């Protein structure tokens, strides 16, 4: 295992064992739940959006190390982003999961790059992001 792969593995384990931004967000302006029926992973994503900027992002849920690490890394990356930037980040991340090609803008999210070779685990890493996609769609149509 290369030094970079080892570092990425450590990042995933750290975020799964001690997820950041985990817990309820009482003043959330947007909420969405996601579920992966093939493995049972569940995530509830909460955002507080001021104007079009994500002021806070949190999640709750249960799942494997990869889904929890993905949600933890995602919520950290979303804070301070506009809704449009969040959508761009989502597309870049899901592209990485499909192809293994990481955009430099992904930063720490690239720790999950190796998941693209683990076909049964791609859905685990994608779950929080697919939940974000649904949430962003509803935010775009909200009055």
Side-chain-facing half-sphere of 42: CA atoms under 13 Å = 6
Q: In what order do the strands lie in the sheet with 53-62?
A: 30-35, 42-50, 53-62
pLDDT in tens, 18-52: 999 999 999 999 999 999 988 899 999 999 999 99
- Rounded average pLDDT over 70-76: 96
Q: Indicate if the pLDDT at residue 105 is higher than 90.
A: no
Q: Where are the alpha helices (DSSP H) in the chain?
A: 3-17, 65-78, 83-99, 122-141
Domain tally for the chain?
1
Residues 6+ apart with CB under 8 A from 69: 11, 12, 13, 14, 15, 16, 19, 111, 112
Q: How confident is the model at residue 78 (pLDDT cuts 50, 70, 90)?
A: very high
Domain containing 79: what range?
3-141
Domain with residue 78: its CATH number is: 3.90.1010.10
Task: Please state the pTM of the whole predicted model.
Answer: 0.92
């Amino acid at each position: 295992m290369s030094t970079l792969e080892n570092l990425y593995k450590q990042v995933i384990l750290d975020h799964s064992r001690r997820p950041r931004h985990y817990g309820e967000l009482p003043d959330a302006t947007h909420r969405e739940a996601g579920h992966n029926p093939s493995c049972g992973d569940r995530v509830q994503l909460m955002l507080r959006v001021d104007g079009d900027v994500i002021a806070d992002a949190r999640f709750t849920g249960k799942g494997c190390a990869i889904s929890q690490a993905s949600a933890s890394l995602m919520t950290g990356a979303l804070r301070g982003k506009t809704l449009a930037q969040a959508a761009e980040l989502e597309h870049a991340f899901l592209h990485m999961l499909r192809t293994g090609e990481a955009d430099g803008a992904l930063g720490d999210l690239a720790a999950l790059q190796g998941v693209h070779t683990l076909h049964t685990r791609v859905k685990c890493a994608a779950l929080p992001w697919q939940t974000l996609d649904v949430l962003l769609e509803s935010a775009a149509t909200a009055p």
